[in-house]
Amino acid sequence: DAGITQSPRHKVTETGTPVTLRCHQTENHRYMYWYRQDPGHGLRLIHYSYGVKDTDKGEVSDGYSVSRSKTEDFLLTLESATSSQTSVYFCAIRTSGGNGELFFGEGSRLTVL
Amino acid sequence: QQQVKQSPQSLIVQKGGISIINCAYENTAFDYFPWYQQFPGKGPALLIAIRPDVSEKKEGRFTISFNKSAKQFSLHIMDSQPGDSATYFCAASTSGTYKYIFGTGTRLKVLA
């Protein structure tokens, strides 16, 4: 499972509140990703990181920020959660070498009421 | 902006039949095309992948067919089994960008 842990696994929150999702990896991979999965949209890239303090935007980055202060942790923050951000969020790491391979965490289900 | 179009959205196949899922892309810079399999409540997992220098890749009952001129690739699952029931995603990436763009997914159900 590439040593990926997401927390929390489930969260229900109110509109307008801040939310932080955490992704922790144990294998020192350089590249980490946050995706959201929604019916009819598949997996869409929110942000990704290519090293400590190095991040870049994906397809659907509006309303989200990320931070990576340590190799092993990649945090996704919803500064003011909206109902449209109700989704399942997946963290992934990319292995090194060749094309690399994405390994995904188990997902974090977020419901914004 | 959906750069990888996947079809069908859902698929029902009898046990022992062939499941076929298709994907099309527009960006000719893509040079790596993986397929991911996802079971309910789990994260997607890499199933098989292909680069555009080959037209077909086979691993067990799973085959990717690639048509570079048509900018299309497909996943074939031979002798489909109920245990293959899952959601399948195609994806594409470009070397050096480390971004992976996914299709919208196909929910496969194999009837026993």
From chain B, pick out residues whose CB is under 8 angstroms from the CB of A31: 98
Quote the pLDDT of residue A98.
66
Quote the pLDDT of residue A95.
87
Interchain CB distance below 8 Å, A42 and B43: no
Quick: pLDDT tens for B75-90: 999 999 999 999 999 9
């659907």: which residue's tokens?
Answer: A60
Distance CA B102, CA A50 (A): 19
From chain B, pick out residues whose CB is under 8 angstroms from the CB of A92: 43
Min distance B86 CA to chain A CA atoms (Å): 14
Distance CA B6, CA A67 (A): 32
Quote the pLDDT of residue A96.
79
Quote the pLDDT of residue B98.
81
Nearest residue in A to B106, CA atom: A42
Quote the pLDDT of residue A94.
92
Quote the pLDDT of residue B2.
54
Q: Region B23-29: what's the mean pLDDT?
A: 94
All residue ranges of chain A with pLDDT < 50 are: none
**Which of B97 and B45 is assigned the larger pLDDT?**
B45
Q: Which residues of chain A have a Cβ shorter than 8 Å from any chain B Cβ? A: 31, 33, 35, 40-45, 48, 50, 58-59, 90, 92, 94, 99-107
**DSSP reduced 3-state for A104:** strand
Residue A108 and residue A88 in contact, taking contact as beta carbons nearer than 8 Å: yes
For residue A49, what are the CA distances in angstroms to A14, A32, A88, B35? 28, 5, 19, 22
Nearest residue in B to A33, CA atom: B99
Q: What is the CA radius of gyration of chain B?
A: 13
Judging by DSSP bridges, how do beta strands B106-111 and B10-14 pair with one another? Answer: parallel
